[in-house]
Structure formats: structure tokens, C-alpha cells
Structure 1
Amino acid sequence: MKYSGQTRFLIAVDCIVFGFDGEKFKVLLIQRGFAPERKKWSLMGGFIQPEESLEIAANRVLKQLTGLEGVYLEQLQVFGDPHRDPVERTLAVAYFALIDIQQYEKQINHEYNAEWFLLDEMPQLIFDHEQMVEAAKKRLRYKAALHPVLFELLPEKFTIPQLKNLYEGLYGTTFDKRNFSRKVLSTGLLVKQKDKDKGNSRKGAFYYKLDKQKYSENFQAFLKFIPNPDKFL
């Protein structure tokens, strides 16, 4: 049985993958494998199969096109402009992912020339994919101002300067070094380690680990961590 007199639409999922390499905040792109816009830079996208849920489709598409699996994925929004795809009417459900590039680099396959780009050096994208990236960036800026979600992008051990680089890359601004450190440590979410990273200075910077129990129990710890987050949205 089908609803009579109704037009059928295609439904796709598109994945915006944000990553951090320890110094820079980046987005992962591929070259589209079929017409139209073949070989043009694109997000990871594909059509939902009849028996798939949205989440299963998003994870399948991401693994199929990049090799990535087991990453943090969150639904963003639906993009439904009638003319967004020149071939057929297609609704796109966008997801964004957060990964530590160094941790997942070996997973990435390069069949579709997957490549990391700095957000402000991103090439022109197909269809409405640039709007998707911008929407994901705004959502992430808002979430990161309220919650410690950016820890999904960090290795198990990290330094305060690395964390500062991550936040500065997302917000496109510079934070005061001492004030940033004070606010981060005041959350009580970080556990100081005995060893240091001496790769960037003679004095070195202590490593920290995330207290995962406190992270789970008190996800509001970063509330108002970023002052006036609305100015970044």
C-alpha cells in the first residue's frame, strides 16, 4: 500500500567531518565520484537505502567513502531546497563528525582523494555543501561554548596549548593564554600528568587527560567557558 497522488523524493545523508591534528582545526573533503560535478570537491554523501535508518546510512556512507568508522556523529539538520540537486528532488540530512586526525589517519582510504583542509582555505564545494559546513561550524561553536564536546577531537593525552589551538581554530580568534588556562583548569575535568611535551619549547608543557567520569557526570562544566558566544555565530 502507498499514499496515492504523492511525489516520491530521494533522501541523502551528507557528513561534515571536522578534525584536529594537534595544531590546526580542519575539515575533510573528497572528490565526487559521479556526475554531475564529478571530481569536484564535496562532503561525504550518499543515498539512504530502503531498509536503513538515518544513522546507519550516515555511518555506512562515511566508511564507504573515507574508511572512517567508530567516530562521533551528530545529526545537524535537513537541507531541502527544491533545486539543491540539479538531477532530482533530493532531501539531504546532514551529520557532523569530530575526530582526532592523528588517531584516525591510518583508517582513511584515498579512493576518492580524501584530503584535509583548513576551514579558511576550503575549496569551492558542490551544491549547498558550503552552507552545510557553515551550519555545522555554527552549531559546533555554540555547543563548544556550553559543553566540553571538543575533547572528541583530542588525543588521550594533550597539553593546554593544544587545547587552546583547537578552540582558536574553531572560533577564528585568539584567547589570552593565562585566562584560557585558568578557565580550563577550573572546570575540574582535567587530570595533570607527570610527563611533558617538550617538542615546542625547552620548558615544555605538562600533559593532561580528561577525567571521563566527571565528563559524563557533569557535561555542563564548560558552561559560559567562551564569553559572549553569540558574537561567533
Structure 2
Amino acid sequence: MTRTPGIRVAVSTVIFSLRRTPGDERAAVVLPLVKRTRDPYEGRWALPGGWLDVAENLDAAAARTLAETTGLAPSYLEQLYAFGAVERSPSRVVSIVYWALVRPDEAESAEAQHNVAWFDAASLPPLAFDHAEIVDYALWRLRNKVGYSRIAHGLLPAEFTLAELREVYEAILGRRLDPANFRRQVDTSGTLIPTDDFRTGSHRPARLYRYNHDVELADRGPLPR
């Protein structure tokens, strides 16, 4: 009888944030990658992650490996999928993949971490293992979920303008949204509460909003798609 090699379990995370490059019309969805320092795929970029410890649960492992590789503690962390194709690694590895959202100001804290760099999700370098497939799946989930959940909140501060909220949707969906139509759909969703504060700057003052956590979004219909 042939002895079956042991199967190892890893935990990886796709971390999304937004970044606006000077001169660009809209913000881009970005994610951090870690450069591998050993084989297989030495020198290639990969998703942050690590091995599951025998004494920890999956959520704890995802949080730990994120802290160790990027220094990030995301405001939104959810299990995405399990990837376990036989040919995905020279050894038998099953990866439990999470996805996370961090605000742009939080994302800056990862810049100083060793071997970590941020990339535009639309123009990634060649990735190790099947990580390109994993990122594509995470982007698909993000774009689908933004229409019926408060997931955009994970990329925003506690209070935000409607223009900032619309920018999140435009970055995720990859297209422009009509400002007036967007405002109407958000207003009828009942998910936002206007505050008495305004954001001031070079343009006219813009009212700040916050999410109404007492309202179930599913009962109010979809937000802009």
C-alpha cells in the first residue's frame, strides 16, 4: 500500500484597499503582496499568509498571519473559499483563503513591512502558485457583494461624504456612476444617516453621513450596481 503524504493547511488573505494616484480620474482597488524568499517560486509575489497552527482556529490564523506579514488588522475579514487542487503546489497544500478590507489610511501602515508592496488589482505581476486565480475570485465576490451589502463601509471612515461613497463604488465596479442617480438610490435605501457635520475644502461644503446599523440592507433593495 502506498503511503499518502501528509496534507498541510495554509491560511492566506486577499486584502483590498483603495489608492488614488495623482493624475488618475478615480481611485483604484489595490492589494498587498509579499515577495517569496525561498522555493518554490522564489522571487515571485504571493498573497500574505502562513501555516495553520495545530492549536489555533482559522479566524485566529488569518489575523495572525496578516499581522506577521503586513502589520495590518483589517476592519472587515471574512472567509472566502478553500483552494485545494492537487497541482497547485509541489507538496499537498490546502489553502483556506480569507478576504479583508482596509481603509486607505490604514493601508499605509503596511508600506514599511519587509518584502511587502502594494499593487493595482488590474495590473498584477506574475504570482506564485494559483494566487492569480484566487485574486480573480476575490474581486468577483467583491463586485457582486457591493450591490447588496454594507461592504463599502470597510473602505471608508466612520463618517463620509456621498462623493467618497460613490468613489468606492466606482473603484470596485470599474465604471463611472451618475452622481444624481447614485444619490437617489442611496437615499431610498435607508442605510445612511446624515450628520450635522460637513467636509470643507476647495469646493462647497459636503455633508457627512454614517451608516444606519439598525437597518437591514436586504430589506431595502439593492444599492447601485
Please say whether Structure 1 and Structure 2 have the same fold, judged by a TM-score greater than 0.5.
yes
Could you say which residue in structure 1 is the equivalent of 2:175? 173
Give the drift of 1:225.
1.9
Q: CA shift at 1:21, angstroms?
A: 4.6
Q: Please state if 1:211 is matched with 2:209.
A: no
Aligned to 2:24: none
Q: Give the whole-Å Cα distance in 2 for the aligned partners of 1:222 and 1:141.
A: 19
CA contact (8 A) 1:20 1:154 kept: no
Tell me which amino acid in the other structure corresponds to 1:102.
D
Q: How does 1:65-214 map to 2 (within 5 A)?
A: 65-69=69-73, 71-86=75-90, 88-103=91-106, 105-106=108-109, 108=110, 110-199=112-201, 201-214=202-215
Aligned residues of 2:193 and 2:209 also touching (Cα < 8 A): yes
Q: Distance in 2 between matches of 1:42 and 1:198?
A: 40
Q: Which deviates the most, 174-183 or 140-149?
A: 140-149
Distance 1:85 1:64 in 2: 22
Report what 1:230 is aligned to: none
SS at match of 2:67: helix
Partner of 1:51: 55
Distance between the aligned counterparts of 1:205 and 1:25, measured in 2? 24
TM-score for the superposition, normalised by structure 2: 0.87
Q: Distance in 2 between matches of 1:21 and 1:198?
A: 21
Quote the offset at 1:179 in angstroms.
0.4
Structure 2 CA distance for aligned equivalents of residues 163 and 74 of structure 1: 21
Judged with a 3 Å threshold, the aligned counterparts in structure 2 of structure 1 residues 122 and 67 are, in CA distance, closer, same or farther, namely same
Aligned residues between the structures: 218
Out of 20-29 and 10-19, give the one that drifted further: 20-29
Query: What is the TM-score when the length of structure 1 is the normalising length?
Result: 0.84
How far does the alpha carbon of each residue in 1:206-232 deviate from its partner, in whole angstroms, 9 at most, with x for none? 221222333xxx1315632245xxxxx
What is the alpha-carbon distance in structure 2 between the residues aligned to residue 25 and residue 61 of structure 1?
22
- What RMSD in Å do the two structures reach over aligned CA positions? 2.2
CA contact under 8 A between 1:30 and 1:43: conserved in structure 2? yes
Q: Gapped runs of 5+ residues in structure 2?
A: 21-26
